[in-house]
């Protein structure tokens, strides 16, 4: 069974640029959630995708957007990068259903200069 994978591992961008992060969900999972984790903080919910549609969104501006593909993999896109976007971006997959456990990938470390 393959776990959650994310790419790239690390990324350095400059302010104003755009970035795309990728996530492959665990086998058998149809729901993907994205989180942002700043240094020393717990992960913050960005949004969730189920069957290729956004299924809930946290307190993040519209320049954070995403996609889910038919194979349940997902992308997180961030436009007009700001310095505060520097963080560890985490993808988690789960099976649809209340209370289901979310399994996390290794994360993508984004640094905005």
Partner 1 sequence: EDQVTQSPEALRLQEGESSSLNCSYTVSGLRGLFWYRQDPGKGPEFLFTLYSAGEEKEKERLKATLTKKESFLHITAPKPEDSATYLCAVHSDYGGSQGNLIFGKGTKLSVKP
Which residues in this chain contact partner 1 in the complex, by CB under 8 A?
4, 6, 31, 33, 35, 40-45, 47-48, 55-59, 88, 90, 92, 94, 96-107, 109
Strand spans (E) along the chain: 5-7, 10-13, 19-24, 31-37, 44-50, 53-57, 64-68, 74-78, 87-94, 103-104, 108-112
Would you say 52 and 32 are in contact if contact means Cβ atoms under 8 Å apart? no
Q: How far apart are CA 37 and CA 47, in angstroms?
A: 13
Which is nearer to partner 1, 18 or 51 (by Cβ)? Answer: 51
Q: Which is nearer to partner 1, 82 or 100 (CB)?
A: 100
CB of 107 to partner 1, least distance (A): 5
Distance CA 57, CA 49 (A): 9
Q: How far is the CB of 16 from partner 1 (least distance, A)?
A: 26
Judged by beta carbon, residue 13 or residue 88, the one nearer partner 1 is 88
The nearest distance, CB 13 to partner 1, in angstroms, is: 18
């Amino acid at each position: 069974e393959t776990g959650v994978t994310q790419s790239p591992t690390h990324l350095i961008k400059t302010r104003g640029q755009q970035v795309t992060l990728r996530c492959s969900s665990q086998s058998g999972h149809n729901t993907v959630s994205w989180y942002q984790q700043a240094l020393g903080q717990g992960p913050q919910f960005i949004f969730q995708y189920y069957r290729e549609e956004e299924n809930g969104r946290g307190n993040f501006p519209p320049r954070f957007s995403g996609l889910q593909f038919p194979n349940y993999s997902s992308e997180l896109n961030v436009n007009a990068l700001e310095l505060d976007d520097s963080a560890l971006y985490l993808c988690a997959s789960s099976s649809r259903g209340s209370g289901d456990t979310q399994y996390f990938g290794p994360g993508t470390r984004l640094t905005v200069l």
